[in-house]
Amino acid sequence: MNSRATNLKRSPVFVRAAPFLAFLVITLLQNNSGPGGRYWFYLVKTVIVGWMLCVFRRAISEMRWKFSGEAIMVGIGVFIMWIGLLPFLDVFGINTSWAVRKNSAAPLWNPFTFFQTAWMGWLFVMVRILGSTLVVPPMEEVFYRSFVYRYVAKQDFQIVPIGEFYWTPFIVSSVMFGFGHHEWLAGILCGFAYQGLVCRKKRLGDAIAAHAITNFLLGLWVVYKNAWHFW
């Protein structure tokens, strides 16, 4: 049993895909756990996936944060695009089917409307911001732009250098990334930006940092503007 677990931890596919798959499974449970359960499930998946990333970090050599000028600009630019695209599409009457609208019947992620005490509301707001800033970026960047991108290029993906440009993986990984989000069109454009950054800098760390900046700014925007539909 121990040798099997050791072999899994050494598997380049497993260490890059397992955190993402764990996040996905717990998200499915979260979405079907009732109004209050989804907040607790988000906390659980943040802790579990964060722990997995820590355990696997030595086996994922490319998972190193890098705050460059380009990463900061892309992170801020994607944030502006994310909050501005939906109103822009509404002006022209364009509806993207996965997009979450302010008047949607689906319950918004707003812990202040569920928990009776303010500190509980702030607790889960902080959990969401920290999870989306510190856990989601390395998890998604490793899965989509290190594993999926290179695997589409060649099945033996480790021989593909990080940042090597190929049209098909560029499109496929970005579209997959986009459709993994409620606002799929913004997600696809976001995928293009992050993957383009990887190809420009020839490393993954700038995309991780840019993704984290985007998510952190979006979290602040959601709370400041009561724009809970973005969550």
Question: What's the pLDDT tens digit per position in 201-227?
Answer: 999 999 999 999 999 999 999 999 999
The answer to whether residue 87 is domain-embedded is: yes
| DSSP code of residue 111 | G
Asked whether residue 98 carries a pLDDT value surpassing 60, the answer given is no
The answer to whether residue 50 is domain-embedded is: no
Choice among 14-28, 99-113, 157-171, 199-213 with the minimum mean pLDDT: 99-113
Angle of the 167-179 helix axis to the 184-201 helix axis, nearest 10: 140
pTM for the predicted model, two decimal places: 0.90
What is the chain's Cα-based Rg?
Answer: 18
The answer to whether residue 52 is domain-embedded is: no
pLDDT band at 102 (very low <50, low <70, confident <90, very high): very low
The answer to whether residue 221 is domain-embedded is: yes
Q: Which residue has the tokens 């707001």?
A: 125
Asked whether residue 95 carries a pLDDT value surpassing 80, the answer given is no
Q: Which residue has the tokens 């722990």?
A: 51
Integer Cα distance of 143 and 157 in angstroms: 12
| pLDDT (tens digit per residue) in 60-90 | 999 999 999 999 999 999 999 999 987 777 6
The answer to whether residue 146 is domain-embedded is: yes
The total of structural domains in the chain comes to: 1
Q: Which domain holds residue 170?
A: 63-230
Integer Cα distance of 71 and 197 in angstroms: 7
C-alpha 65: how far from chain center: 15
34: left (phi > 0), else alpha (psi -120 to 50), else beta?
left
The answer to whether residue 194 is domain-embedded is: yes
Asked whether residue 145 carries a pLDDT value surpassing 90, the answer given is yes
Q: Which residue has the tokens 């991108």?
A: 149
The answer to whether residue 198 is domain-embedded is: yes
The answer to whether residue 171 is domain-embedded is: yes
Instruction: Evaluate whether 48 touches 22 at the Cβ level (below 8 Å).
Output: yes
Rounded to the nearest 10°, the torsion over CA 83, 16, 173, 169 is: 150
Predicted pLDDT at 31: 84
